[in-house]
């Protein structure tokens, strides 16, 4: 029997490695003394990949000095959350007020940031007078509004969400005063008006739940294809990416981005956050980190994905709790403006280092929960997750996890499955192996591996739901299986082994 419960020791001048990383990050964000270990910002990391990394903001937040210190240093692009919407800029017909938006663009200019204008035409946050207009007057009012605002911000705004959220969930067009008055033509009319007012700005259509393949993204794809065929000025599609850990990750997000890019359009992730049911816990946090990482990886893999904007960067100013009661913790920084594991996951995905620590890869441990109360049915269903307990990021391509069990009677061949994982089952490998020398409670093991990815310090893979059966579907007797336990919540699992290369780094072999 051999046992290892963690990786080898790391020396960091007498301080724990995780603490040193936190101190380094604190200096980087607060503008403290520069050191050789000072981290690149998220935008600098993205810029090195040919992308931008930005954040939404709002006027009321700009009086918070600690908040603006990070907003102005960590991000290279900002989007005004509300100050360029119609109810703010033209509350009374023909009377325009750009004061709040001007504050945002001035902040951006001071911090060498680009600005994404949001939004010229939207069914929501309209002043009452727009909905009260006779249909025959809507087009003129819309065109004038677009012309006035886009002209005012010409040169200060590099891209516009010209039309926001034109679709219902099933891919039909959303009802609005503009659709009611002009049908689908309002979209082309809006784009032409925006281009006439600012020929240099990139023009986008923007919507939520179009990140993955599905009816709504299909509708957007059909719309932009038609607009391009008609010669309507359109430069890109914005995917809002308001995600939630309780729902699956968008189906084939990268492939969806690529099909829009293949039309000659840019793609931008415009409003990224990943909410959860409160309270937060390590499993939800791990899923959140995985979702953020997957969005970054999808964007990096598509050349015409130009960048990512989070909506906002901190839980302190998140829109989620007021919109989705009981949910929150959606952002990269917590309410105290401290970076969360999701922030580290994004840094790692962007190619960032471990905060200047260097040293060996992070330590790993396995956690397990019992997903099947029956000990005598024809399937074994372990729930597994890996946690990086070290102070450095850890790649997963050379990592293997083994769960031992006994086969009993019946077929000697097996099928294994990954039913769900926040990191994507396509990145999880699995096979059943017969042991050369059976041990008590163990004559086979389920071996799990990974085709790619990495874990930031403190991050987890989140739950990997696994299942195996004999090819003849005969029953198991799991009552004495070495790795099985009865706990239904995730806990450290010393009888499940983790290997890095050929080295046992966690657990006790049978």
333-345: average pLDDT: 91
- pLDDT value, residue 408: 86
Catalytic residue (one of 90, 271, 463, 478): 271
Judge whether residue 405 has pLDDT over 60: yes
* Measured CA angle at 443 (ends 399, 396), to 5 deg: 5
Q: What is the pTM of this model?
A: 0.68
19-23, 261-265, 268-272, 412-416: the lowest-pLDDT one = 19-23
Q: pLDDT band at 507, cuts 50/70/90?
A: confident
pLDDT at position 273: 98
- In the three-class reduction of DSSP (H, G, I as helix; E, B as strand; rest coil), residue 151 is classed as helix
Q: What is the pLDDT of residues 286-305, one digit of tens each?
A: 889 889 999 999 999 999 99
Decide if 478 is catalytic. Answer: no
What pLDDT shows up at residue 117? 98
Q: Identify the three-state secondary structure at position 286.
A: helix
Please state, in angstroms and rounded to a whole number, the distance separating the CA atoms of residues 332 and 321: 15
Higher pLDDT, 357 or 90: 90
Secondary structure E strands in 256-398? 266-277, 305-310, 327-328, 364-370, 382-388, 394-395
Task: Return the H-helix or E-strand segment holding 17.
Answer: helix 17-30
Residue 5 confidence (pLDDT): 37
Assign 492 a pLDDT band (cuts: 50, 70, 90): confident
Per-residue pLDDT at 30 exceeds 70: no
Q: Which of 74, 139, 165, 478 is catalytic?
A: 165
- Mean pLDDT, to the nearest integer, of 392-400? 86
pLDDT in tens, 36-56: 335 789 999 999 999 999 999
State the average pLDDT over residues 89-101.
98
Q: What is the mean pLDDT of the chain?
A: 89
pLDDT beyond 90 at 369: yes
Per-residue pLDDT, 502: 79
Tens-digit pLDDT profile for residues 239-273 = 999 999 999 899 899 999 999 999 999 999 999 99
Is 74 among the catalytic positions?
no
- Asked if 463 contacts 385 with a C-beta cutoff of 8 angstroms, the reply is yes
| pLDDT tens string 165-190 | 999 999 999 999 999 999 999 999 99
Q: Is the pLDDT of residue 361 over 80?
A: no
Please give the pLDDT value at position 107.
Answer: 98
């Amino acid at each position: 029997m051999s046992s290892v419960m963690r990786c080898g020791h790391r020396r960091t001048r007498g301080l724990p490695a995780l603490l040193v990383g936190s101190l380094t990050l604190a200096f980087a964000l607060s503008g403290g003394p520069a050191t050789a270990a000072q981290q690149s910002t998220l935008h600098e990391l993205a810029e090195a990949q040919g992308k931008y990394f930005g954040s939404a903001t709002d006027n009321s937040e700009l009086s918070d000095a600690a908040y603006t210190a990070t907003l102005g240093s960590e991000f290279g692009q900002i989007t005004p959350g509300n100050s360029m919407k119609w109810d703010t800029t033209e509350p009374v017909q023909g009377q325009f007020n750009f004061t709040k938006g001007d504050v945002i663009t001035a902040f951006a200019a001071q911090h060498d940031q680009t600005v994404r204008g949001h939004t010229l035409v939207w069914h929501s946050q309209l002043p009452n007078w727009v909905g009260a207009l006779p249909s025959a007057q809507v087009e003129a009012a819309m065109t004038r509004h677009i012309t006035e605002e886009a002209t005012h911000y010409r040169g200060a705004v590099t891209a516009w969400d010209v039309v926001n959220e034109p679709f219902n969930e099933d891919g039909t067009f959303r009802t609005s005063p503009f659709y009611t008055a002009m049908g689908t033509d309002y979209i082309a009319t809006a784009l032409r008006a925006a281009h006439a007012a600012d020929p240099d700005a990139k023009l986008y259509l923007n919507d939520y739940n179009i990140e993955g393949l599905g009816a709504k993204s299909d509708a957007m794809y059909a719309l932009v294809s038609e607009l391009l065929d008609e010669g309507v000025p359109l430069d890109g599609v914005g995917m809002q990416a308001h995600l939630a850990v309780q729902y699956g990750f968008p189906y084939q997000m990268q492939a969806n981005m690529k099909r829009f890019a293949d039309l000659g359009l840019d793609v931008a992730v415009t409003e990224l956050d990943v909410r959860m049911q409160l309270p937060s816990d390590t499993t939800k946090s791990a899923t959140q980190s995985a979702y953020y990482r997957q969005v970054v990886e999808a964007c990096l893999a598509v050349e015409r994905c130009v960048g990512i904007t989070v909506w906002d960067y901190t839980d302190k100013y998140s829109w989620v709790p007021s919109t989705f009661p009981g949910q929150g913790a959606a952002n990269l920084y917590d309410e105290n403006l401290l970076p969360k594991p999701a922030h580290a996951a994004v840094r790692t995905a962007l190619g960032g280092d471990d905060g200047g620590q260097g040293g060996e890869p992070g330590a790993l441990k396995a956690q397990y929960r019992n997903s099947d109360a029956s000990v005598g049915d024809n399937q074994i269903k372990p729930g597994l997750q890996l946690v990086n307990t070290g102070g450095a990021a850890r790649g997963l391509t050379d990592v293997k996890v083994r769960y031992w069990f006994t086969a009993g009677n019946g077929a000697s061949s097996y099928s294994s499955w990954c039913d769900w994982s926040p990191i994507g089952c396509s990145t999880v490998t699995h096979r059943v192996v017969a042991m050369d020398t059976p041990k008590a409670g163990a004559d086979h093991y389920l071996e799990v591996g990974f085709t790619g990815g990495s874990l930031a310090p403190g991050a987890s893979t989140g739950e990997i739901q696994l299942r195996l059966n004999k090819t003849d579907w005969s029953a198991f007797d799991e009552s004495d299986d070495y790795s099985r336990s009865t706990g239904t919540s995730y806990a450290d699992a010393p009888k499940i082994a983790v290997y890095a290369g050929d080295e046992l780094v966690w657990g006790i072999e049978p």
